[in-house]
Amino acid sequence: MNTIDILGSLIKAKMGASSGRLETTFGNSGFGTAAGRSAGLPGGGSAGSIFDMLGKMSGSVLGGGARAPGTGGGSGGFSSADILSTIGKMVFGGSGNPGLGGSAGAGANAVFGALAAQALALAKRMMAGEISAGGAQSIDIDDATAVIAGLRKPANAREEQQVRDVATLTIRAMINAAKADGRIDEKETERLVGKLREDGITDEEQRFVLEEMRKPMDTDAIVQAVPNEQVAAQIYTASLMAITVDTDAEKRYMQELASKLGLNQQVMAYLHQAVGMA
């Protein structure tokens, strides 16, 4: 079972608010400034577009800040899945493991990971008084975090399993968030599974998604499986993508999730603004 492929198919199937939130993130070249102001960062904490930010991460993990198609200030007619696939290719390359290289799932992992690393690093620098009034900051991450965040191609089987484990937890977190209003609509379930089938997801992978959707909501189990703050911020970001957050129940859920994950207000504010939520 390839959970990277499942994650990509869920994004391509436009689960919850994911497609619109991703398009907002991709198209808003100034999201860093707004996010920084919301989080109280000096100078706004501007980081440019998501692609500029990815290119600056940990020694330019995307090859010197290369840009995805249609990213000269907007989506340029490309769908979020198209851009995610390009990001996946930029990170993992066009060869190697077909389940990881070049997929929308790999791209989604990289976007969630980059936003999480940026939010955590900026919050820490602000708390330490290290952010200058100029605002724009490059973010350096260690090698182990780069793998977990989906920003470097796994070098061995152990690292590849780490990436898959994070993808599995991300899927579970997104589906759990979708249960926040007390139910998952059966028609939406059927639509999503149908889209997964059309995308070539295997019977085993379809069963995994169905089983997760039919399980009782269990936020504590998801939180207990989180190994570190980087993954915590990643699954919080993915959860924001999975629901609209326009009901009291969904708002309470996201607040509860952040609290249990130990995320502070600065991190939350940055991530909310980055995905188009004031």
- Encode pLDDT of 60-75 as tens digits: 444 444 444 444 444 4
Q: Could you give the CA distance from residue 58 to residue 26 in angstroms, rounded to a whole number?
A: 20
Where does the pLDDT of residue 134 fall: very low under 50, low under 70, confident under 90, or very high at 90 and above? very low
Where does the pLDDT of residue 108 fall: very low under 50, low under 70, confident under 90, or very high at 90 and above? confident
Q: Which domain holds residue 30?
A: 3-274
Q: Could you give the CA distance from residue 224 to residue 232 in angstroms, rounded to a whole number?
A: 10
Give the mean pLDDT of the chain. 75
Report if pTM > 0.85. no
38 burial (CB, 10 Å; 0-12 / 13-18 / 19+) is buried
- Total number of domains constituting the chain: 1
**pLDDT reported for residue 79:** 65
104 compared with 27, residue with greater pLDDT? 104
259 compared with 81, residue with greater pLDDT? 259
- Taking only the tens place, the pLDDT of each residue in 143-178 is 888 888 888 888 899 999 999 999 999 999 999 998
**pLDDT reported for residue 80:** 64
